[in-house]
Structure 1
């Protein structure tokens, strides 16, 4: 239900969305069924960018639909051993030698996927009408580099922000940012209070001094943090579009 609500918010704001279907190394539902469910429940078109070679214990690699390339993972006893083996071309005899009869099954699945699914369209993605879909196992780092590469290539740059005085462009060198949320007691052991700041332009570096518009004073940003789920880390540097957390005792409102 939370995912459905988040999708509704993204739809209202035309926010681009990328989808990663995780845990392919565990037994689960058929990938085609999952694509159908995403489209029917979340009301968004799916464009598969990668396709899993097997699932569960038979999960052996990823096929890249856009560049016709296969990545086979090396495993022993369920453990990831080394960098993936690359094979160019779904029709390659090297693929048959590597995975045997599974090669023909993969070719059949890919033919079905290409015929039944949407192709990737950058404009539809940026409008929030289509989501590129990736498969893999995040725990083992399998399939995640493709997601990150696509994010770097296709995700929109930070947009300009309107202020009372002017429009701040994300490519400006001067550091600017705005606080959009203040959260108390994120760490019950310390009863802390964090101000979430989105960087609008420029670059943050630990210890820098900035001008606080509301108070008219300069403040030093020594203990900024970044967040990943419930984990937090000290922020050494950040750029436009990034979000950092500032420890706050009431100065920032």
Structure 2
């Protein structure tokens, strides 16, 4: 396999290539170290020379996955990113996800494109709210989960207590592959439970390079680490006695979760995670279409658009559609069919991203993620194919709970304002609602969380050159309605009906109490709850 991860011959079949691929996402609560872990994985796979950290202070390096200026300034991931790594002759397609709950919709789209997930938890905080929400999505989609207990270099909880919490709150059986030597805050190394050997770690300056490791037999480990090793070995024996050993079938069935201990900021334990992904994570397999029929990986090419993004190349302002290859072999220049419209689309400009960096892609296989440039005909959720038609299940639209009217600060830049709002709508940054009463100059932005408004404001000013004023509205509830009910609902006090880009009419209410009141006065009105996760 070449360093870029592509097969050495254009005649490689899809099934052979798929077996060499692992496509996974990293999910966590904000500040659990997700972007730092992503960077450490790239470092250990030798995709980068040194690791950066997320920090808003000038002069610090930033991670490759958090490339937007707002991400670097705020120290949080606000958009998903795609990286491809090659490790042990295996291609790892890593999709980094936004950590903040306000961007759950983007994370959900990413989880529709992966075959496994790495669930990162803070050693001190355990399973937090956003982690549990994302776990529920993985469970619903049948995505196997590898758990990493991060930040073991800092004070935290007892490891057995964390295992109990994982079992109690997720229903999964934790099966640790490694067990820490030294309490949280005194991370000396790990016991590898499959070989009973000790792997000791040594820190590097700033965690910028791969941490040196030393591997010792149990006797040498006991001599070196003393009581810390004895405690670790006793706890490992206790785990074995309770049946907490890895079972591959149980893992793939979503019954158990392998567990690793790490300190991503110091690159401790990260190499073992790469090995675990190669050895245990499932390769791409058949994906069910909209009718529930599986599409084999060796069927003709098919793919799924799970993300749109502009602004990655400030010099060209292009629009990129991220496509997960589901079946067959994709070759640049292929004319594909868009299932939604039945129209052809020529894939002339195809790239693979590495954070903000790009490389031209000639060939891609099941599990790979490619970026189709200037793909204005594509929408999030689109299926594309050659030869044999297929349409994959659509993505649900989240129920917005925050609403604001957007107006251009400079009316002379209305053209830029309209282009920016249209682009943010297409990318799913916000939902855009319109009505004849408000007009195109004052669309209503609808969001799952208020930070989406901050992103919209930042990008409108920085990327599209049209700063906006946002006037928050008092609505908190949206219901889908129909044209027959719209006029009656609009006449109700505190209710407004607007139209979304997909044609749906949404009735907005100040609260659930008002919804129930209107339902009593208009019992025949169509008021359908929106899908929310």
Question: Which residue does the alignment assign to 1:212?
Answer: 336
Matched, 1:134 2:260: yes
Q: CA deviation at 1:46?
A: 0.7
Q: Pairwise mapping of residues 58-137 of structure 1 onto structure 2 (< 5 A)?
A: 58-75=186-203, 83-88=212-217, 90=218, 92=219, 94-116=220-242, 118-137=244-263
Report which structure shows greater RCO (CA 8 Å, sep ≥6): 1
Q: Pairwise mapping of residues 14-53 of structure 1 onto structure 2 (< 5 A)?
A: 14-53=142-181
Summarize the Cα distance change of 1:81–1:122 in structure 2 as closer, same or farther, 3 Å threshold. closer
- Could you tell me whether the CA contact under 8 Å between 1:26 and 1:55 is conserved in 2? no
Q: Which of 336, 357, 361 is matched with 1:233 structurally?
A: 357
- Could you tell me whether the CA contact under 8 Å between 1:161 and 1:167 is conserved in 2? yes
- Could you tell me whether the CA contact under 8 Å between 1:199 and 1:240 is conserved in 2? yes
Summarize the Cα distance change of 1:203–1:120 in structure 2 as closer, same or farther, 3 Å threshold. same
- Could you tell me whether the CA contact under 8 Å between 1:168 and 1:201 is conserved in 2? yes
The number of aligned residues is 241
Question: Which residue does the alignment assign to 1:148?
Answer: 274
In structure 2, distance between residues paired with 1:191 and 1:55: 50
1:13-54, Cα deviation, whole Å (9 max, x unpaired): 322111111111111111111111111122211111100111
Q: Which consecutive aligned stretches of 4+ in structure 1 deviate over 6 angstroms post-superposition?
A: 76-81, 188-191
Name the larger-Rg structure: 2
1:156-185, Cα deviation, whole Å (9 max, x unpaired): 221124669x9753256x7x3413324355
Q: CA deviation at 1:3?
A: 1.8
Q: Which of 122, 127, 134 is matched with 1:6 structurally?
A: 134
Question: Which residue does the alignment assign to 1:55?
Answer: 183
What secondary structure sits across from 1:52 in the alignment?
strand
Question: Which residue does the alignment assign to 1:181?
Answer: 306
More displaced 10-residue stretch of structure 1: 127-136 or 95-104: 95-104
1:106-154, Cα deviation, whole Å (9 max, x unpaired): 2222222323452211111111111011111122222122222122112
TM-score, normalisation: structure 2: 0.41
More strand by share: 1
- Could you tell me whether the CA contact under 8 Å between 1:70 and 1:87 is conserved in 2? yes
TM-score, normalisation: structure 1: 0.80
RMSD, matched Cα: 3.1
What secondary structure sits across from 2:347 in the alignment?
strand
